[in-house]
Structure 1
């Protein structure tokens, strides 16, 4: 039975650099008077896109603690989620042991948006809530962020920059949403 799940080791993924944003805005790269403002737009656009797609763009570890070896299903952040490691407390030991990757299989789950881990062998474990610790790597590294997500962020950055004083004009960006729709988790 799953006894706990949590995130750890979140690392910021740079989707759009300050230089890319300035180029998109047609600003000179040497001009730095608005760098802080533009960086705020970059951060805001990334947060907006994460909220829209209902997923993390930043890389992070999703940790699942299980009381014993059993079939485990979990919701995926995106198709690129990978089981990074499975460790367990052997019976009579206090240190974690890593389970060999050949000892389990990860498959798409029965429910859309899930994956299931099944075990070929189930070693005896200590009786504890965190007897088996599964670590799933989620998110994208900077070089692997899908181009449509980056482009959507640039569109939002442009909107914020061009209409920063006219709040009545800022609103729904259909093009940015259309670019992100395939990545959205409902």
Structure 2
């Protein structure tokens, strides 16, 4: 069984910019008093949609650790965009696996697997961290409906911030994004 850790230092590309959202909300570009608030709504909308879809909307990078290559290469949490590297413990030190021994293979629009292309080295270390994978996950091309859903949620958060009794337009957001939901 593997475990994964999100790499916090990773800087994802933005789905919507603050200036795009301010334009959507009809906020003048030079009015900056609520920029921190609006950015918080952007982050909350992205997190909400990612949670609903069970997949990263914005690129995320993970380090996956396991006791075997099968544990690590079977990482199914997300759609994988790229692999930064795979390392394995050999006599107490990590060695990088040759890149021609693995590749990303698209199964469908939701799932990408790591395919082994050759014989993997025999592991000599019996540790829960014997194999390490660094992988970037997210959409290869973000669907426009997801970007629109982020804008709609931010609008709702901004418009109804003082009146939580109002119903948010979650049904519209759900309709826009439900076809991208990942059931694993």
TM-score by length of 1: 0.77
Aligned to 2:46: 46
Aligned to 1:177: 174
Write out per-residue CA displacement over residues 111-156 of structure 1, whole angstroms, 9 at most, x where no aligned residue. x847354352132332222332233221359xx5433222111011
The answer to whether structure 1 residue 37 and structure 2 residue 37 are counterparts is yes
Identify, as 1 or 2, the structure richer in strand: 1
Aligned to 1:125: 123
**What is the CA-CA distance between 1:30 and the residue it aligns to?**
0.3
SS in 2 for 1:64: strand
SS in 1 for 2:75: strand
SS in 1 for 2:88: strand
Write out per-residue CA displacement over residues 60-89 of structure 1, whole angstroms, 9 at most, x where no aligned residue. 11413234x5584231412x4433322122
Distance of aligned partners of 1:104 and 1:140 in 2 relative to their CA distance in 1, 3 Å threshold: closer
The answer to whether structure 1 residue 156 and structure 2 residue 157 are counterparts is no
Q: What is the count of residue pairs matched by the alignment?
A: 176
Q: Distance in 2 between matches of 1:77 and 1:33?
A: 37
Structure possessing the higher radius of gyration over alpha carbons: 1
**Residue pair 2:4, 2:63 contacting (<8 A) in 1 also:** yes
**Residue pair 1:53, 1:185 contacting (<8 A) in 2 also:** yes
SS in 2 for 1:75: coil
SS in 2 for 1:179: helix
Aligned to 1:74: 75
**Residue pair 1:73, 1:114 contacting (<8 A) in 2 also:** no
**Residue pair 1:76, 1:114 contacting (<8 A) in 2 also:** no
RMSD, aligned α-carbons: 2.8
TM-score by length of 2: 0.78
In the alignment, structure 1 segments of 5+ residues that lack a partner are none
In the alignment, which of 95, 98, 104 is matched to residue 97 of structure 1?
95
Distance of aligned partners of 1:106 and 1:153 in 2 relative to their CA distance in 1, 3 Å threshold: closer
SS in 2 for 1:182: helix
In the alignment, structure 2 segments of 5+ residues that lack a partner are none
Q: Distance in 2 between matches of 1:145 and 1:81?
A: 12
